[in-house]
Each structure stands twice: as structure tokens, then as C-alpha cells.
Amino acid sequence: MLLVMRLQITSAGMTDIHQVLADHHRYWGERDLRPLHLVALVQEFGETCLVARAGDGIHGYVLGFVTPTGTGYVHLIATRDDARGTGLGRRLYTEFADAAHRHGAQRLKAITSPGNTGSIAFHRRLGFDVQTVDDYNGPGRTMMVFRRALPFDVDLREPEPS
Ligand SMILES: CC(C)(COP(=O)(O)OP(=O)(O)OC[C@H]1O[C@@H](n2cnc3c(N)ncnc32)[C@H](O)[C@@H]1OP(=O)(O)O)[C@@H](O)C(=O)NCCC(=O)NCCS
């Protein structure tokens, strides 16, 4: 039987964040990123903190905000272990980009650690430039910095061979 679950992307609420924290390993595996799930982001930037939910819970989420200089900054994005590779990460970014654009963003930015090769490949696929920035997180703490102009509606798929 093929079960098609209807996914809805909406603003994140405090209950959602607690749910995500309870199931943290399903989004982040062994990495403990719980301290980065800042309540203030959800409370103050509700329009750019989004969850994708279906009947069986939260499939993915993005927490971000728009800076005063027009950058839509993605602080965290993750899809649940059983929802990966289905296009959900792209959908979440698209919704975030639309929301950020409505709130004045002209570009997107995100960061990740050099070892997060999945995130680097994902961001490249979504059209981000990738830069290695030494000392970004303090002395000796290199980070990968992703940047991309808005709007987000460019079709980045390879053309079909003719
Ligand atoms: C990174 C993450 C959010 C991607 O979510 P996803 O739902 O699997 O992504 P999508 O299915 O929308 O993929 C979009 C595109 O990126 C590509 N992509 C996604 N993850 C990839 C990976 N690990 N390696 C290579 N390409 C990848 C997909 O192939 C797809 O390309 P396509 O459009 O040509 O088919 C997800 O793997 C995740 O939650 N990882 C753990 C948390 C994390 O590291 N978050 C990022 C922190 S900055």
C-alpha cells in the first residue's frame, strides 16, 4: 500500500521546538545541537521559523531570521532521517526564502562545519556559493559559509540531454 502523507509547512511554535528537541537524534544523529535551538528565534522571528508536519509528526524544520541589512540567515535546517532525499529540504528553503524576501531579504546566508559534507553538497545543489572562512567561529575554528542571492526561483536542474 502506498501511503501519501500530506505535508504542511507552517510557522513553528514552542510546542514544535520541544517536539524537535525530544526527537533531536532523528534530525542530527550523534551531533548534539540542542543548545542552538534558541527559543528567542521562535518567539521573535515566527515568520521565518518554519516546520513541515504530517500526520506522524514533524518531518523537517528551518529556523532563521532576516538581518537589518537584508540577509535571510538560516540558523538551522534539518529533515527527519526518514524524510531525507524527498525534496523536503529544498521545499523548506524555498518557503524560508519566500518569507525572508517578503521581510526585505535580498540574499541568503548559512554556515556549517567543514566536516558536514552532506550540508555542503545540499547547499551547492541549491545554488549557494561555498567559501571556507578561517577563524569564523573564533581562533582556529574554520566554518563553511554559504551565500546566495534572492529570489530563489531559479531552476538549477541539469538540462535533459538532447
Ligand atoms: C541537509 C538536509 C537538510 C538535506 O535535506 P533533504 O530533505 O535530504 O534535501 P532534499 O531532498 O531537498 O535535497 C535537495 C537537493 O540536494 C541534494 N542533497 C541533499 N542532501 C545531500 C547529500 N547529503 N549529498 C549530496 N546531495 C545532497 C539532493 O540530491 C537534491 O538534489 P536534486 O535536486 O538534484 O535531487 C538533511 O540531510 C539533514 O537534515 N541533514 C542533517 C542536518 C544538517 O546537517 N543540516 C544542515 C546544517 S547547515
Write the pLDDT tens digit of every residue in 55-67. 999 999 999 999 9
Provide the phi-psi class of 70: left if phi over 0, else alpha when psi is between -120 and 50, else beta. left
For ligand 1, atom 10: residue with the closest CA: 87
pLDDT of residue 153: 76
Q: Is 136 in the pocket of ligand 1 (CB under 6 A)?
A: no
Q: Look at residue 2 in the predicted model and tell me its pLDDT.
A: 46
Q: Which residue has the higher pLDDT, 1 or 7?
A: 7
Q: Is 158 left (phi over 0), alpha (psi -120 to 50) or beta?
A: beta
Q: How far is the CA of 121 from the centre of ligand 1 (A)?
A: 7
Answer whether residue 155 is part of any domain: no
Number of domains within the chain: 1
Q: Is 68 inside any structural domain?
A: yes
Q: Which pLDDT does position 159 carry in this prediction? A: 53
Q: How does strand 57-66 pair with strand 107-112?
A: unpaired
Whose CA is closest to atom 20 on ligand 1?
122
User: Does some domain include residue 122?
Assistant: yes
Q: Residue with the nearest Cα to atom 46 of ligand 1?
A: 119
Query: Would the CB of 28 count as within 6 Å of ligand 1?
Result: yes
Instruction: Decide if 57 is inside a domain.
Output: yes
φ and ψ at 29, to 5 degrees? 65, -135
Q: Which ligand 1 atom is the nearest neighbour of the CA of 29?
A: 41
Q: What is the CATH number of the domain that holds 26?
A: 3.40.630.30
Whether residue 161 lies inside any domain: the answer is no
Residue 162 has a pLDDT of 54
Q: Please check the confidence at residue 160 and state whether its pLDDT lies above 80.
A: no
User: What order of strands is seen across the sheet that includes strand 107-112?
Assistant: 8-11, 49-54, 57-66, 71-79, 107-112, 143-149, 129-133
In a domain, 133, yes or no: yes
Confirm whether 157 is domain-assigned: no
| d(CA 92, ligand 1 centre) in Å | 11
Which residues form the domain of 101?
A: 8-149
Structural domain includes residue 159: no
d(CA 140, CA 148): 25
In whole numbers, what is the pLDDT of the chain averaged over residues? 93
Nearest ligand 1 atom, CA 79: 39
